[in-house]
Amino acid sequence: MMDFTNIQAWIEARPYAVGAVIFLLSLLTFIIARAVLARGLTYFAGRTNTHVDDILVEKLRPFRIALLAPLVLIYIFADFVPAYQTLIENGILFLILWLSTVTVNALLDALNLVYESSSSFKGMSIRSYFDIVKIVILIAAIILSVSIFTGESPVMLLTGLGALTAILLLVFRDTILSFVASIQISAQDLIKEGDWIEVPSYGADGDVINMTLHTIKVQNWDKTISVIPTHKMLDVAYRNWRGMEESGGRRIKRAIYIDLGSVRFCNTEMIERFRKVDILRDYLDSRLAEIEISEKGIEMDSPLDGRQLTNLGTFRAYIEAYLHNHKDIHQEGLTFLVRQLAPGPTGVPMEIYVFTKTTEWVRYEKIQADIFDHLMASAPVFDLRVFQEPTGMDFAVAFQSEAMRAK
């Protein structure tokens, strides 16, 4: 039988044969690790009802982690090839280090995805914090890599980096600013994934679909993507529509412009005609009663001698009654206002300031359009004209009329 000295001599005399054996053993270890660890985890993840293990398997990639088994085996048996021991150990340590780094970063991605897919996720992204951890891990991996091949202590390398602080601050300036901005955005709950924001200076108007340490990605309504540096969000003006969506109502703020030449006092015939409108009858009866009381003892030689109803005021009352009976308009809790603004060159604006019961864009626009379709068609019933700038057709009709009178 050969003693240990003879075995060692035999190994040293045949380094390539020993290397081949170690390689074959490591290959066998890799195959077993793939079959048992990787395929086993993938199989069990597919059999469970929870989505957490599916995310972990997808991000961690067990088949990649299985590479650690043969690398560890080669590192253990590196001293069987003394001529190349240092080179093999350093190379294997380097591969193990970066494979572990990639795996840890993938784990952070998986944890972020699990958090964002959970029922408790309210749009407050933690990706920025994970990005900072990734940067720290990468810096540590780089320092350890240099330490592996130079033989210097990582502490000594870190001490040497102190002299490069100014350069590091310059290189990582945007990262530092973005990190501070991310903390402020998160702490003050300024922006979350899923928020609808407008950032005019960057041409962004749409939903926030992704927030990372360095960028905020916005999908605009035309399906284009705007990318905004995270730290810039504290420097530029922007609008977040989340408050509107959480309130449960979306504002309608639009005016109908009435031609001033069509405004007049209501006569008896007009009042009787307006009383046939069911939602106006109570208003007219109460107003006429008030006017009758106020006019006692006053000779009504002129409409200006007492209070009178006007077709414009009655139309405003009709708009209020119509909106009060509209099922898609908030009646309480949010502003409900129909007001007359100052007259101008385009007539007198009758502004509607109310909130719909939906915040969904398409539904909101339909409700708004239906309301104004109805009101613009209703104005002539009150002997009012909706103002419109003269068109070529208006001038043509005027010229024809003038020509007919000339004949």
**DSSP letters of 319-331?**
HHHHHHT-TTB--
Whole-number Cα distances in Å, 341 to 131, 134, 335, 346:
53, 58, 17, 12
Q: Is the pLDDT of residue 4 over 50?
A: no
> How is domain 190-240 classified at the CATH fold level?
SH3 type barrels. (2.30.30)
Top-confidence residue, 52 or 248? 248
What's the chain's Rg over C-alpha atoms? 39
Query: Where residue 324 falls among pLDDT bands split at 50, 70, 90?
Result: very high
Amino acid identity at 339 = R
* Highest mean pLDDT pick, 60-64, 103-107, 237-241: 237-241
Residue 12 reports pLDDT greater than 80: no
* Residue intervals in the chain for CATH 2.30.30.60: 190-240
Place of tokens 């035309």: 222
**What CA–CA distance (Å, rounded) separates 69 from 66?**
6
User: Using one digit for the tens of pLDDT, what is the confidence trace for 173-219?
Assistant: 777 788 888 888 877 788 888 889 999 999 999 999 988 888 899 99
CA distance 342 to 66: 77
pTM: 0.61
Let me know: does 135 contact 171? Beta carbons within 8 Å: no
Lowest mean pLDDT among 112-116, 320-324, 357-361: 112-116
Q: Is 7 exposed, middle or buried (0-12, 13-18, 19+ CB in 10 A)?
A: exposed
> Which of 21-30, 156-165, 224-233 ranks highest by mean pLDDT?
224-233
State pLDDT tens for residues 325-363: 999 999 988 999 999 999 999 999 999 999 999 989 899
- Give the rounded percent of residues in the chain with a pLDDT score beyond 70: 79
* Greatest mean pLDDT range, 5-9, 65-69, 92-96: 92-96
For residue 124, the model assigns a pLDDT of 64
Q: Which two tokens stand for residue 219?
A: 């999908």
Rounded to an integer, what distance in angstroms lies between the CA atom of residue 178 and that of residue 216? Answer: 10
